[in-house]
């Protein structure tokens, strides 16, 4: 009873401080450098170093954002960082994919050993890569061909195969590589391994040329008889053997565990898309207020004003889905309707639509590199593709709501 407020959407003080702090970095350091690093198509090491210096790049930052029990801190930080720039944002956050895999599957000892090596330090920052996708196994993860074979005599794993499109692949200090240990079990026969710095047999191709996120390094990775100590299997051999036994003797149930891991990371990725979308919307809004055609600011035409109204509405709707999924993940709520996928699907599609509209609102100017909406338009497109394409998100949602094997 009583009038106590049980539900609210205000950020608490810590969250609004975090937002303002990341926004300051995005505005003062990231945004002014965005066009240059996009053109250079290189990893912006000096900016990574700046981020490390202020504590925005490192394990402590990630742990702090992950431990917020509302779940909102990481989406809030990502939205602001990617508001600054998608490519530099990904150069800074790419490492967290590998760290999340170590955190999610590793033992406490593995966490302590490898995570610091993923980030390096402010004097000598490093990056890490998470290598899962293969030339013939993208959406279809179960088709993974990279093999990991255990050699008991030497207590070593030997990895052989090829990985595709790995963020930071080849330039990373630490590579986390997924591989099949028992191909007959499909995705349930896969495991993740840490490949330590300088391990022989692992090589990245040269940086792939991309449409967007150009400051972020993407490369294919070859694994040619890569020998790593037994201790590099994330989670350890005993846990793997138990898991494989369960998979061999039971109906495919622990698919749900893998699915949940993806659902947990999706709102954070959706928030990146949201940051890019918001940046483009804000730029287009200002432009439309100032650009005069037919003797009046173009925003005085409903066609333009309503487009901006729709852009803002869609961005805010996407943010609510992102925050809901982040909150559900942190509070162990079951994703009964694929809410994690919904958040990434909506935010990715909104980012593509909003950045496209922003280019349109700027007219010819929008098509030129002089204005950032051109870059934002290119950067946004990846969000309907990686971390599960829009079609795969729809597959997850439709299976969750129907309980049927939708194909
Ligand atoms: C810039 C960039 C960075 C990346 N970073 C990483 C990384 O760090 N680590 C990593 O492991 N991977 C990474 N990836 C890979 C990315 O996750 C994959 O590209 C993505 O999962 C899609 O896989 P694919 O490219 O093989 O496409 P495919 O699986 O070949 O899909 C092609 C098309 O078919 C559709 N499709 C496939 N199956 C179905 C189906 N059942 N129903 C309906 N439609 C379907 C897809 O939606 C898509 O439109 C990155 C990719 C890029 C471009």
Q: How far is the CA of 138 from the centre of ligand 1 (A)?
A: 5
Residues 280 and 383 occupy one common structural domain: yes
- Name the residue with tokens 């999340």: 100
Half-sphere exposure in the Cβ direction for 130 (13 Å, CA): 19
273 by Cβ neighbours in 10 Å (0-12 / 13-18 / 19+) ranks as: buried
| DSSP labels, 118-149 | HHB-SSSB--EEEE--BTTBSS-GGG---EEE
* Domain termination site, one of 119, 141, 166: 119
In ligand 1, which atom is closest to the CA atom of 389? 47
Half-sphere exposure in the Cβ direction for 73 (13 Å, CA): 19
> 1 lies in a domain?
no
- Dihedral sign for Cα 166, 170, 173, 177, please: positive
Q: Is 97 a pocket residue for ligand 1 (Cβ < 6 Å)?
A: yes
Question: Helix or strand or coil: residue 233?
Answer: strand
* Domain termination site, one of 83, 99, 119: 119
Q: Is 280 a pocket residue for ligand 1 (Cβ < 6 Å)?
A: no
Q: Is 178 a pocket residue for ligand 1 (Cβ < 6 Å)?
A: no
- Which residue is closest in CA terms to ligand 1's atom 1? 218
Residue 192 · residue 101 · CB < 8 Å = yes
* Domain termination site, one of 91, 119, 147: 119
Mean pLDDT of the chain: 95
Give the Cα separation of 361 and 63 in Å (integer).
Answer: 40
Residues 259 and 395 occupy one common structural domain: yes
Q: Is 392 a pocket residue for ligand 1 (Cβ < 6 Å)?
A: yes
Nearest 5°: the CA angle 323, 324, 329 is 100
Residues 137 and 244 occupy one common structural domain: yes
Mutation to probe ligand 1, out of 128, 272, 385 (largest number of atoms < 8 A from CB) = 385
Give the Cα separation of 392 and 152 in Å (integer).
Answer: 38
Residues 374 and 242 occupy one common structural domain: no
> 178 lies in a domain?
yes
Q: Is 128 a pocket residue for ligand 1 (Cβ < 6 Å)?
A: no
Q: Is the pTM above the cut of 0.85? A: yes
Mutation to probe ligand 1, out of 89, 172, 389 (largest number of atoms < 8 A from CB) = 389
Catalytic residue chosen out of the listed positions 79, 314, 339, 387: 387
> 2 lies in a domain?
no
In ligand 1, which atom is closest to the CA atom of 140? 29
- Name the residue with tokens 């602001």: 80
> Residue 149 corresponds to which tokens in the numbers above?
């074979």
Q: Is 133 a pocket residue for ligand 1 (Cβ < 6 Å)?
A: yes
Phi-psi region of 338 (alpha: psi -120 to 50; beta: other; left: phi over 0): left
* CB-based contacts of 369, cutoff 8 Å, min separation 6: 35, 39, 375
> 104 lies in a domain?
yes
Residues 264 and 397 occupy one common structural domain: yes
CATH code of 25's domain:
1.10.540.10
Range of the domain at 137: 128-249
- Which residue is closest in CA terms to ligand 1's atom 37? 139
> 301 lies in a domain?
yes
Q: Which residues pair with 290 in a beta bridge?
A: none
Catalytic, 39? Answer: no
CATH code of 213's domain:
2.40.110.10
- Name the residue with tokens 């590199």: 369
Q: How far is the CA of 57 from the centre of ligand 1 (A)?
A: 27
- Which residue is closest in CA terms to ligand 1's atom 20? 386
| DSSP labels, 242-282 | HHHHHHHHS-S-THHHHHHHHHHHHHHHHHHHHHHHHHHHH
For residue range 88-106, what is the model confidence (pLDDT) as tens digits? Answer: 999 999 999 999 999 999 9
CATH code of 373's domain:
1.20.140.10
> 272 lies in a domain?
yes
Residues 309 and 207 occupy one common structural domain: no
Q: Determine the pLDDT at residue 98.
A: 95
Nearest CA-CA partner of 94 in 198, 169, 22, 41: 169
Give the Cα separation of 173 and 168 in Å (integer).
Answer: 9
> 281 lies in a domain?
yes
Residues 202 and 239 occupy one common structural domain: yes
Residues 290 and 346 occupy one common structural domain: yes
Q: Is 162 a pocket residue for ligand 1 (Cβ < 6 Å)?
A: no
Question: In this structure, what are the phi and psi dihedrals at residue 316, rounded to the nearest 5 degrees?
Answer: -65, -35
- Which residue is closest in CA terms to ligand 1's atom 16? 386
Residues 362 and 264 occupy one common structural domain: yes
Residues 382 and 245 occupy one common structural domain: no
Q: How many domains does the chain divide into?
A: 3
Residue 351 · residue 383 · CB < 8 Å = yes
> 4 lies in a domain?
no
In ligand 1, which atom is closest to the CA atom of 212? 1
Q: Is 202 a pocket residue for ligand 1 (Cβ < 6 Å)?
A: no
Residues 261 and 215 occupy one common structural domain: no
pLDDT average per 10 residues of sequence, the chain (407 residues): 77 96 98 98 98 96 91 97 98 96 94 97 97 95 96 98 98 97 93 98 97 98 98 97 92 63 90 98 98 98 98 98 96 95 98 98 98 98 97 97 94
| DSSP labels, 23-81 | HHHIIIIIHHHHHHHHHHTS--HHHHHHHHHHTSSSHHHHHHHHH-TTS-HHHHHHHHH
Residues 290 and 397 occupy one common structural domain: yes
């Amino acid at each position: 009873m009583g009038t106590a407020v049980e539900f609210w959407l205000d950020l608490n003080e810590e969250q609004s401080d975090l937002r303002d702090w990341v926004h300051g970095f995005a505005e003062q350091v990231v945004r002014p450098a965005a066009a240059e690093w996009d053109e250079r198509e290189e990893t912006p090491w000096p900016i990574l170093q700046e981020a490390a210096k202020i504590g925005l790049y490192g394990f402590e930052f990630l742990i702090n954002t992950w431990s917020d029990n509302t779940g909102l801190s990481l989406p809030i930080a990502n939205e602001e960082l990617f508001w600054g720039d998608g490519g530099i944002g990904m150069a800074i956050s790419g490492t967290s994919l590998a760290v999340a895999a170590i955190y999610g599957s590793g033992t406490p000892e593995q966490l302590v050993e490898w995570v610091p090596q993923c980030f390096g330090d402010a004097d000598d920052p490093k990056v890490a890569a998470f290598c899962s996708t293969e030339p013939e196994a993208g959406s279809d993860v179960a088709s993974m061909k990279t093999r990991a074979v255990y050699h008991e005599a030497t207590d070593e794993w030997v990895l052989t195969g090829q990985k595709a499109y790995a963020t930071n692949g080849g330039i990373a200090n630490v590579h986390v590589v997924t591989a099949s240990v028992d191909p007959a079990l499909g995705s349930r026969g896969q495991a993740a391994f840490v490949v330590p710095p300088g391990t022989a047999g692992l090589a990245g191709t040269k940086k792939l040329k991309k449409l967007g996120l150009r400051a972020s390094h993407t490369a294919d990775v070859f694994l040619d008889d890569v020998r790593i100590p037994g201790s590099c299997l994330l989670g350890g051999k005993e846990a793997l053997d138990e898991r494989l036994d369960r998979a061999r003797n039971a109906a495919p149930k622990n698919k749900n565990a893998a699915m949940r891991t993806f659902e947990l990371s999706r709102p954070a990725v959706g928030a990146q898309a949201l940051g890019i979308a918001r940046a483009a919307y804000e730029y287009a809004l200002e432009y439309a207020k100032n650009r005069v055609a037919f003797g009046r600011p173009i925003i005085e035409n409903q066609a333009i004003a309503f487009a901006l109204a729709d852009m803002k509405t869609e961005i805010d709707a996407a943010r609510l889905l992102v925050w809901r999924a982040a909150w559900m993940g942190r509070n162990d709520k079951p994703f009964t309707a694929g809410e994690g996928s919904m958040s990434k699907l909506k935010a990715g599609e909104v980012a593509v639509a909003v950045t496209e509209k922003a280019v349109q609102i700027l007219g010819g100017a929008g098509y030129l590199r002089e204005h950032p909406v051109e870059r934002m338009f290119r950067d946004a497109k990846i969000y309907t593709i990686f971390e599960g394409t829009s079609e795969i998100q729809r597959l997850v949602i439709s299976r969750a709501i129907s309980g049927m094997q939708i194909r």
